[in-house]
Each structure stands twice: as structure tokens, then as C-alpha cells.
Amino acid sequence: MSIRVLFVVPYPLGKAPSQRFRFEQYFDILSTAGFTFQVAPFLDDSTWAILYKKGKSLFKAFGILKGFLLRVLLLFKIGRFDFVFIHREATPIGPPWFEWIVVKVFKKKVIYDFDDAIWIPNTSEANKIVAGIKWHHKVGQICKWAYKVSCGNVYLQSYAKEFNNNAYVIPTTIDTVGHHNKIKEQREEPVVIGWTGTHSTMKYLEPLVPVLQQLEEHYAFKFLVISNSNPELSLKSLVYLPWQKETEIEDLLKFNIGVMPLVNDPWSNGKCAFKALQYMALGIPAVVSPVGMNTEVVDDGLNGYVCATPQEWYSALETMLLDSRLRSEFGKAARNKIESCYAVTAIRNNFLGLFA
């Protein structure tokens, strides 16, 4: 008889990067291995579409209440499954009542997965209303109850191990066969320095602006931002492109160089270098801050640069702006690093091992 898995997730399928690149791209592998599974999002498509937009508070509230009702109804199906895979949390606010019932009442094996330091409050303009009732400390409780914990990096694993010795690093991975399966041609001009991310991470670009302004004084290039929000950056080189899932790879391939600046704080140390992974999988060298998992993914001077100061950022970007051959060499090395360490094909067995 096949192993039956219930995926309890925050967001609708195919929408959020954390879901798409941590477990959704393993669904075919699970099916091939004889698993059967069901996915239960907290938010429906209509609520997700307005969640981070201004206004429509009543519709948002209705969507959240609907999510809680669906979680209650889901409990009546729990008995059908061998494993319950919970990504981040079963409910976005309040205590872990759903997780407690699944483990303590139904005695189910929970695989708990997270890829950010979600036990640390990270209040933004978009979530400040509910920040006080997020119940961040429930992360440790769920880790303690879980059968196994799947962590995006060593920093997250070290936290999980305070509560559960069965905590494993399962990095965010890239499908190098079916999705990120093209390589950047580095001889194209003008050179494009690029960044992709959501409105919540756009704040990390601010310290890079003076470096880019200095580069603008000497060189012609474009600074392309792919996001769900138009950036407000004082840059002559700035070009904005709205993120679209359908053109995600084509748009990223416009980059010659990908950047991932971060600040060195506890929240950022939980980051899993996802931007760098995406760039590098497409043969685009990455320039990153020495924070979180960035220093594991990017090998300084081999497939990109790791930069701690504005001077290092300027030097690294200037070097690659001027040398297409170096960009090409770094890009090939970057692609090889992803294929060997961070591709779905490389991590497949580790992911399946969570259910052993």
C-alpha cells in the first residue's frame, strides 16, 4: 500500500517561492516513488491575490476566517494519512492548536518544514496589524512535537535541534531539468545587474544604492529589478519588471550579474540564499553579502563574489561589468555548483528520506 502524505501549507499551489522550491517540485518524484498525497492550503486563490494589497480588509478577514474553518474540517480527514507535512505553520496567527491535535490526538507523524527564522518577529508594513498575535514561539513547540524537522540551512537546524534531535538540513532546491534549464549568454550588451524578490525583501537593496550610483558615474549598465512591487530607488540605471510566473526564467535570463545584499542580523541569517541559487542555476554569477547561507552557496572568486563592504561591492561589480569572459567562467562554475549540491536531482533522496 502507498504512503499517504497530507501537505498542510499556508499558500495556494504554485504561488509562493518557499512552497514551489522546497517541496512542490518534488510532487512528481513522490508519485513515481509510490506516494499519494493531498495539499491543503490555508489561503485560497482570491485571498492570496489581495493579501498584500492595500484595502479590502473585510475580504481579507473573510479569507482568514475561511482558512480557519478549512483547518477544522481538515481534522476529520487526518486519519487517512501516514504523514502530515507542515510548511511553516498550519495557521498564520494564534497558537499551534492544529499541530497539537494532529500529534497528540491523532498520533500522526509530522514533518515540520521551514526556510526562514520564523520564530523571530519580523514586522513589516504589510503584517504589522497581526504581528502581535503571530505566536512566534510556537515554532519551537512544533519542532518538539514533530517526527522530523526539515530546515533550510544549518542556522535554522541549530535552532530546531534545541527541541528535536531529528532536525535535518534540506536546502531549497532548483529544478535544473524542467525549469531553470537554460544558460545565460554573457556577451550581450548593455550589461544588466539584476535583483529579484518581493516587496518584503526590497529593503535590503537600500545599502547598495550608493555603490550603484558610483558605478553609474563611470559605466553604462542597467539595474533590473523583478518584483511584485515597483521599487523607489534613486538610480538612473533602474528598470522595473513586474514578476510573472509564466516568464520567470526568460526574465531572469536578462541578468548578466545577480545581486543578493543582506544585513547581518538574526532574521537574515536564517535566509537560504534562494536568489543566489536562482541566478547561479542559470549561469549568472552572484554577488552576495556574507550572511546566512550565502557563503555556502557562493564560492568567492570562483563562481561569484562575497562582499562585506561598499568598496568590495564596487570592486566586484566593476570587475564583472568589464569582463564578459570572467562572467561566463563564473557562470559555468555557478551552474555546476547548483547541479552538484542544490538541484532537485541532487537532493531527491534526502527529501524522500524525511518519510522513512
What is the domain-level CATH number for residue 258?
3.40.50.2000
Domain contains 352: no
CB 310 within 8 A of CB 153: no
User: Residues 212, 335: one domain?
Assistant: yes
Domain contains 185: no
Say whether 172 sits in a helix, a strand or coil.
Answer: coil
User: Residues 154, 279: one domain?
Assistant: no
User: Residues 77, 223: one domain?
Assistant: no
Whether residue 294 has pLDDT greater than 90: yes
User: Residues 54, 164: one domain?
Assistant: yes
User: Residues 158, 276: one domain?
Assistant: no
Spell out the alpha helix ranges (H) of 242-309: 248-252, 266-269, 274-281, 294-297
**Higher per-residue pLDDT: 49 or 214:** 214
Total domain count, the chain:
2
Domain contains 224: yes
The pLDDT of residue 188 is 79
User: Residues 154, 200: one domain?
Assistant: no
Query: b/e for 257-285, b at 16 or more Cβ within 10 A?
Result: bbbbbbeeeeebbbbbbbbbbbbbbbbbb
User: Per-residue confidence at 135, pLDDT binned at 50, 70, 90?
Assistant: confident
Whether residue 132 has pLDDT greater than 80: no
Q: Nearest Cα to 195, choosing from 224, 163, 155, 220?
A: 224
C-alpha span between 213 and 216 (Å, rounded): 5
Domain contains 321: yes
Q: Nearest Cα to 237, choosing from 224, 251, 256?
A: 224
Say whether 129 sits in a helix, a strand or coil.
Answer: coil
The pLDDT of residue 130 is 55
User: Residues 144, 218: one domain?
Assistant: no
In eight-state DSSP terms, residue 348 is H
Q: Given the C-alpha cell 564583472, which residue does it identify? A: 320
The pLDDT of residue 123 is 59
User: Residues 13, 153: one domain?
Assistant: yes
User: Residues 160, 40: one domain?
Assistant: yes
String of DSSP letters for 181-196: -----TT-SS-EEEEE
User: Residues 153, 217: one domain?
Assistant: no
Range of 292's domain? 192-341
Segment 148-189, tens digit of pLDDT: 999 999 999 999 999 999 999 999 999 999 999 999 999 878
